[in-house]
Copies of this chain bind each other. A is one copy, B any other.
Amino acid sequence: MSWIHELGLRWPILQAPMAGAQGVELAIAVSEAGGLGALPSAMLDPEALDAALGDYRRRSARPLNVNAFSHVTPPVDAAAQARWQASLAPYYAEYGLTPPEPATGPGRRPFDAETCAVLEAHRPAVVSFHFGLPSPALLARVKAWGARVLSTATTVEEARWLEARGVDAIIAQGLEAGGHRGHFLSDDLSLQLGTLALLPQVAAAVEVPVVAAGGIAGPRSVAAALTLGASAVQVGTAWLRCPESTIRPLHREALASDAARHTALTNLYSGRPARGIVTRLMRELGPLSERAPAFPLAAAGLAPLRAAAEEAGSGDFSPLWAGQDTSGCRAVPAAEQLRWLAGDGGP
C-alpha cells in the first residue's frame, strides 16, 4: 500500500500532464471520476497558472498533480538559430512567410521561484517534474507545503538518482511513450528502454513506489503494468481524443487514422526528443537532426509555419504527439475513458 493509494483515488491511474494538449478541463474530469488529474505548467505564465489552479479548486476538491519542466533554458545561440532558419527557409518560402524573430513563438518555462510562489498559494497535493529536478532549495519549498514529489526516470540510473534526492515516487517512462522523453543524465537514446524491460528493473532498484508510463493504452496494458510491479500507471495518449483535451482537429484525426501507426522520436519541434506521429517535416529533415536548436528554442522557428499550415488544414509542421499504441484513443468523455482503462465496464 503506497502513499499513492492514500490519495483516495478510485483507481491507481494518473493522467499524464501534456503541455499544449490540455488544461484544467481534462484534469478535473479525470480527478472527479476517480483518477489523478494533472495540470501542465510549462506553457503557462504565472498569471495563467494561478487562474487555472483557482479554476480547478473551485470545481474540484480532489487531489491534483501540477507538472513542471526542470530543464535549464539555454542562451539564444544566434548561429544555431540562423542554421535552423536556413533549414526551414524553403518552407517559409512555400507559405510566403517572413522568418520569425528568434525570440518569438511558444516557449517552455522551467520551474522557477515565480512558479513555485504560485504553487505555494494553491498547495497542490502532488507536484511532478520532467527532465530531472529543480534546485534543492526549490525542491525544499515544494516539500514544505506537504506536496508529494514525482519525477520521471528513463533508466535505472536515473531512478536511483531521483530516489537519492528524495522523490516520493518515480515515473518509469518506457520508450513507447508519446511526447517528450524525460531523460536527464544522458542524451544517448540507445539507453532508453521499452516499458516491459524498464519497469521491473526500476521497481527492483528503488524503494519508493513506481508509476508505469509508456504504451499504457488500454485495460490490458494497465493490468500488465501493475503485474510488472507498478503501484500505479500514468496514461497520456489515450486521453487525446476525449472532448476535454485541447488538441486541434487535425491532431484528433491523425490519431484516429492509420498514420498513427508510425511514430518516431523527433527533436525538430522543441529541440529535445519527443515521440509523435511522423509528419512531412520529420520525413524531409529526418526526425532527429543536429540542425534543431537546443530545447526549447527550436519551437520558435516553426511557430509561423505550423500556424500557416494548420490554417490551410495541414499538420505537416505540427507536433502530433502520440505514443506507440493509439488503439485506445477513443472519442469519449474522459470519465468514461478512465472507467474503461480501469477495466470497469461501468454503467
Contacts and interface: CB of A to CB of B under 8 A. Distances in A.
B175 A194 contact: yes
Contacts of A216: 196
Interface in A189-239: 190-191, 193-198, 200-201, 204, 214-218, 220-221, 223-225, 227-229
Contacts of A198: 324
A324 B156 contact: no
Given A196-B225, A197-B325, 17 more contacts: A176-B194, A176-B197, A191-B262, A194-B195, A194-B196, A195-B196, A196-B214, A196-B215, A196-B221, A197-B215, A200-B218, A200-B220, A200-B325, A201-B325, A221-B228, A224-B225, A224-B228
B195 A217 contact: no
Number of this chain's copies in the assembly equals: 2
Nearest to A328: B200
Contact of A324 (B197, B228, B265): B197
A174 B176 CA distance: 11
A320 interface: no
Nearest to A212: B196
A261 interface: yes
Please provide the 9 A-B residue pairs with the shortest distance between their CB atoms, ordered closest to farther.
A194-B194, A197-B324, A196-B215, A197-B215, A224-B224, A197-B325, A190-B264, A176-B194, A176-B197
A197 B287 CA distance: 20
